[in-house]
A and B are shown apart, each in its own frame.
Chain A
Amino acid sequence: MERVSDRSIRGAAAITGFAEIKPERRKPGRTAVGLAAELAKNCVEDAGLTKDQVNGLITHIPYSHNIEFAEYLGLKPVWSHSVDQMGGSGATSLTVAAAAVATGLADNVLVIVCSSQWGGFGGGTEPSPDGHGAQYVRAHGPGPGANYEYAQIAMRYQHLYNLSDEDRVAIAVQQRENAQANPDAVFYGQPATADDILNSRMVADPLRLLECVMPCIGGAAVIVSAADETDYSPNPPVYLLGAGCATDRGVPGLSYAPDMTISPVKVSAERAFATAGLTPQDMDIAQIYDCYTIAIICEFEDAGFAPKGEGGQWFASHDVTYKGELPVNTHGGQLSFGQAGSGGGMSHVVEGVRQMMGRGEARQAHKDLNYAFINNNGGGLSVEASLVLGKGVD
């Protein structure tokens, strides 16, 4: 096992409140900063704070910098940061916020990750005109979004391991069931079987349309405070027990990774579990980034929940709905909840917190929850951020 420093974030920070905007295909007239402002207002109120008590800010808002947004919001933070780890921005922001409150740089940090009709990922910078994509990718016609990246991972995976189409989509079917208990999910009211998914049109072989996320407009936010200064909140604090971030292959990472089917979750989750002093088997619930079926299969295996090459079969043979022993992506996952750009990753963070606070309503896990695992992924399995959350600090 990789050595994790004796200096530890374990139990130093807690999440005291959250807010989320229902993801939708279109939100006519809404701006990214307007959505972010709504998230700020609702999140601060949910945590039991007032505007004046927020002195730290982290944002990931398309075409808006945290400095610009702080002024828009009338905030004067003593510490602020823009985080861009692509799809991994949400969980990564949590680690940055935790480090800030643990070291006294800020007291209450507001973290906001959202998308808009102008784009969902990053700060809106254009790719370099002579960068990697322009020189070596563009002329080959890679196709929209990240479909081609994850399709290539799936193709290689199926070359190396025994993964049937039915097992590959098993997680998507169960998440769709979770979404039927979540009125905010984009596929609420639309149950789907494995056949429905496998009969949807092929987008990039071997991936079908319903194995690819639906881009949405929305976002989510949380408040992070020092663990011993959460008395202000009416919510039970949810503690950060472990965290790990890792990147090892650049973007588009899969081409240059030693093994494109093994993600840096191997490193990020190991560090998160080691910091928490816990194992995957200790987790009561998991919220794992699922931009594509193959992505969550790889992350789930690499985090240590199933042997490599057997993640699909594992999902096919276990109940991972909110009724099961290890509920996974209780909000429906991004595949059924919708992907609000980098806010898609943040939806897993917020759902983990929501469940730990016992606020899952119709989709609340049918079991006691002490520990939650969260993973965010970005850039075609090239950047990962893993979190272990707990109800208490032992």
Chain B
Amino acid sequence: MAEQELKRPVPSSNALTEPFWEATKQHKLVVQYCEGCDQLVWYPREICPGCWTMEGIEWREVSGKGRLHTFTVIRQAADLWFQQRVPYVYGVVELDEGPRMISGIQCEVEDAVCDMPVEAVFEDLDDDWTIVQFKPAS
């Protein structure tokens, strides 16, 4: 097979989620907030799953601190770029403010433990995309 440069898969966005991806570019983590429910909502949606308001939703910055709710060590990847990087940690982070987010975890495979404190780390993939991941809290 011809040698070719593999690229890490990048996310996508739409009109609704543009503010989230604009924030990550500035290395900020924002999630939706419903004023009526006084609840943070992740992932972004056009309706509050609590009270069904379609108007009272705004973006709020969160601390980026949380705990590693659960994880696995991916030893067999689907994507070609990731296949060259196994094994790596992939998990679910519970933010201190409540919501849970799916994320890559930047730590050694043997260091990952459920409920360990983590903090957000921003990775600029290219000019268009910055993703948020998590690493053990310093």
Contacts and interface: CB of A to CB of B under 8 A. Distances in A.
Nearest to A205: B73
B102 A140 contact: yes
B43 A130 contact: no
Interface residues on B, range: 35 or more
Given A148-B72, A203-B76, A136 B102 contact: yes
A141 interface: yes
B13 A135 contact: yes
B78 A144 contact: yes
Interface string A164-189: 00000000000000000000000000
A3 interface: no
Given A135-B12, A203-B76, A152 B100 contact: no
Given A139-B8, A139-B10, A141-B90, A155 B72 contact: yes
Interface residues of A, number: 35
A138 interface: yes
B71 A143 contact: no
Contact of A144 (B11, B70, B71, B77): B77
Contacts, number: 107
Contacts of A134: 11-12
Given A140-B90, A140-B102, A156 B69 contact: yes
B47 to A, nearest CB: 14
A163 B73 CA distance: 19
Interface stretch (A30-38, A72-80, A252-260, A369-377): A252-260
A142 interface: yes
A393 interface: no
B33 interface: no
A159 B67 CA distance: 14
Contacts of B85: 141
A296 interface: no
A4 interface: no
Given A132-B43, A135-B17, A140-B133, A152 B75 contact: no
Interface string B94-138: 000000111110000000001100000000010001010100000
Interface of B: 8-14, 17, 43, 69-79, 81-82, 85, 88, 90-92, 100-104, 114-115, 125, 129, 131, 133
Given A141-B78, A141-B81, A153-B70, 9 more contacts: A130-B13, A135-B11, A139-B11, A141-B77, A142-B78, A152-B91, A155-B71, A156-B69, A201-B75
15 contacts: A130-B14, A136-B102, A139-B11, A139-B129, A141-B9, A141-B78, A141-B82, A142-B90, A143-B82, A152-B91, A152-B92, A155-B114, A159-B114, A203-B76, A260-B70
